[in-house]
Amino acid sequence: MAALTTTSAATPPTPRRRSGSARRREAGAGWLFTAPALALVLLFIALPVLMALWVSITDWRGRGSPFEPGVPVVGLDNYRDLLAGGGLPTQDLGTALRNNLWYVLLVVPTQTVVALLLATAVNDKLLRGRGFFRTAFYFPSVTSSVAITVVFLFLFSASGAVNQVLSWLGINGPNWFADPDGVLHLLLGVVGVDSAPAVLADHGLLGVSWWEWLAGPSVAMSALVLLAIFTTSGTFMLLFLAALQNIAGEVSEAATMDGANAWQKFVFVTVPMLRPTLFTVLTLGLVGTWQVFDQIYTGTQGGPAKTTITPAYLSYTASFTNGQWGQGAAIAFILFAIIIVLTLVQRAVLRER
């Protein structure tokens, strides 16, 4: 905006009529220049959202156009079926939310901490081979999610590299992507708790019992958690690295003079100064992990035993596989709402203090 005023102020005195037409020409150019980008964004982002909002209150089955007069309008039925129906749609959504929640809870904090530690390490001016380390940590972020998922399917296959390494340590690795057991259930099994206490088994949310909510990510989902941390930590490392390089050396030196050791300096000086970046990384992490789709489509297709279905994948299968477009669109909007609410909550929590 400031630049605009400067431009006009610097315009040399010209006859009034010409300046008027020049201004009109400038306005025309302004609209002409923004028109293509604006049209694309309206046509392929804004309009689709409105159309899907319409479809989510219909029972369109994918034939013809959803805007034809014959398409049954069902109001909020799709949302009610999903959130309060108690049938299969509710149960599937509940399972998908459970799966994705564990995924988010494990991926977001871990990728943030790993990225921060990697950034701190490769920011060290005395470190030799900084370029090599930065490249090594960032490279997975460049590759496509499809390609890297294929590699992980191989690494975590029954006789794969991961299990081979585990066998050197005397551990009999699981058949990762085929194992639906919840990690927390497995841990409880170790201490002798094999079945659900009645309180947890008899009550639940969204058609899923509390015992199942507390199952933890399945072994298959855990492999996808590792995959996510592996591919995103490099991206976030770069964001932290850029921020670290902006922290003036004097601040750190002053802290050293005051007698702070490396760890105290990191916790009390560096981390507080990284607050804005931390906010960005957590937001991007949260928004990204709630949208996990490519890895599921490529790797597990929701299996084993539905332990890797996510709301995004469920929305896709409801529409494209089962032809229930109204329901699929409603799931997309529920996911949209979750992402918005969580982003706002996170903003409130992090901004307040």
Partner 1 sequence: MGTTTTAERPATAAPAPEPTRRPGRRFRWTTATSYTVLSVLALVYVLPFLVQLANSFKTDAEAAADPLDLVPVPPTLNAYAQLFQGLPFGLAATNSVVVALSVTAGRVFFSCLAGYALARLRFRGASLVMAVFLAVIAVPPVVLLIPKFLVLNQLGIYNSYAGLIIPLMADAAGVFIMRNFFTSIPTSVEEAAKLDGAGAFRTFWSVVLPMARPAVITITILSFQASWNELSHFIVASNSPDLITLTKLVAQLASGGQGQATQYPLKLAAALLMTIPVAVLFFVFQKKIMSTAEGAVKE
> Does the protein bind partner 1 through residue 329 (CB under 8 A)?
yes
Asked whether 277 and 239 are in contact (CB, 8 A), the reply is yes
- CB nearer to partner 1: give 165 or 267: 165
Q: What is the DSSP string of 40-71?
A: HHIIIIIHHHHHHHHHTTB---SSS-TTSTTS
Q: Footprint of partner 1 on residues 137-176 (CB under 8 A)? A: 137-155, 157, 159-161, 164-165
Q: What per-residue string of b and e applies to 278-290 under the rule 16 or more CB within 10 Å gives b? A: beebbbbbbebbb
Binding mask 250-289 for partner 1 (x = CB under 8 A): -----------x----------------------x--xx-
> Does the protein bind partner 1 through residue 235 (CB under 8 A)?
yes
Nearest to 52 by CA among 328, 353, 311: 328
Q: Footprint of partner 1 on residues 7-26 (CB under 8 A)? A: 7-8, 10-12, 23, 25-26
Q: How many CB atoms lie within 10 A of CB 331?
A: 28
Q: Under rule CB under 8 A, how many of the chain's residues touch partner 1?
A: 110
Q: What is the DSSP string of 281-326?
A: HHHHHHHHHTT--HHIIIIITT-STTTT--HHHHHHIIIIIT--HH
Q: Footprint of partner 1 on residues 73-102 (CB under 8 A)? A: none
- CB nearer to partner 1: give 136 or 271: 136
- CB nearer to partner 1: give 32 or 199: 32
Q: Footprint of partner 1 on residues 293-322 (CB under 8 A)? A: 293-294, 297-299, 301, 312, 315-316, 319-320
Q: Which range touches partner 1 (CB under 8 A), out of 79-87, 217-225, 236-244, 247-255?
A: 236-244
What is the distance of C-alpha 229 from the center of its chain? 11
CA distances from 56 to 45, 152, 257, 328 (A): 16, 36, 62, 7
What is the distance of C-alpha 352 from the center of its chain? 23
Q: Which range touches partner 1 (CB under 8 A), out of 64-72, 74-82, 192-200, 250-258?
A: 64-72
Binds partner 1 by CB under 8 A, chosen from 104, 115, 116, 239? 239
Q: Footprint of partner 1 on residues 27-56 (CB under 8 A)? A: 27-31, 33-34, 36-38, 40-49, 51-52, 55
Q: Footprint of partner 1 on residues 166-225 (CB under 8 A)? A: none
